[in-house]
Amino acid sequence: MSLDIHVSNEESKRNENLGRLLVKCSDQPGIVAALSKFLYDHQSNIIESSQYSSDPEGGDFFIRIEFHCDALKEKRMQMEQDFEVLAAEFTMDYNFTYGDERKRTAIFVSKEPYCMMELLWEWQNGDLATDIAVVISNHEDSRELVESFGIPFHYIPANKDIRQQAEEEQIRLMEEYEVDLLILARYMQILTPNFVSHFPNRIINIHHSFLPAFIGARPYERAYDRGVKLIGATSHYVTNDLDEGPIIEQDIERVDHRDHIIDLKKIGRTIERRVLARAVKWHLEDRIIVQDNKTIVFQ
């Protein structure tokens, strides 16, 4: 654990002068110039910039800027105050984030651990810029595995008869561990509107199907019955509409008549792992802007 803390501190020190700015507003001339001038006036160097316009004539404009600024920790509060003037001029929705402020995540899992394991491996290798604060499960199966990583594990039984009590405890733990992002890594429970409302655009789910096909349970069985030639997985933000939240990432693999249900599931697990890991990574790096029920993902 001491090594992990040391690495985390080193990374935090390295990133303390790194900032990110995400903006969405109505498209109009001069936005990029104004943003560039603002950062220049605040002695900041733009490292990466990606932008998108839904329609140059009256559409919406989205941009993600990553920048470096010496002594940013001391300057960030004043910078944000100064930006309010520019934001008002262009009627911007915006968000500043900083490289030394790692998001804290919670992983929710049921019996199948493979998506959770992918995240733990990415985190252990330093490829997932987060602090995994806690793992929550409605089964005890993964306790020993999770605790071997030095991560707290909480077993909370969950079913439709005790759902309210379970979610009250889960919400309490999210507050106790100061969690920024919830990851449903094959957590096989439906969340209530009350729970979802506590974490808008902060819950990422993996669905073992290429949505909108085969929404809900048993998608591999239904895909096999339909005789599909492609199977996939979808990672999305959770809303109150089952499996219909804003899609972050999808991927597919080709299959054929020789593949039975068990083969589809094996292939699908590989897709699920990589799709969920990408979505989580992009969220942690502030590469996603949600617009209505869609996402703009700056890769």
Cα(81)–Cα(133) distance, integer angstroms: 31
Sequence-distant (≥ 6) Cβ neighbours of residue 293 within 8 angstroms? 239, 244, 245, 246
Element (H, E) at 176: helix 163-176
Count of C-beta atoms within a 10 Å radius of residue 152: 14
Q: What tokens were used for 230?
A: 């492609």
CB half-sphere exposure, 182, CA atoms < 13 A: 27
The answer to whether 239 touches 84, Cβ cutoff 8 Å, is no
CB half-sphere exposure, 91, CA atoms < 13 A: 6
The answer to whether 194 touches 167, Cβ cutoff 8 Å, is yes
Dihedrals phi, psi of 222, to nearest 5 degrees: -70, -35
Cα(11)–Cα(14) distance, integer angstroms: 5
Active-site positions read: 243
Maximum pairwise Cα distance, the chain: 63
The answer to whether 265 touches 229, Cβ cutoff 8 Å, is no
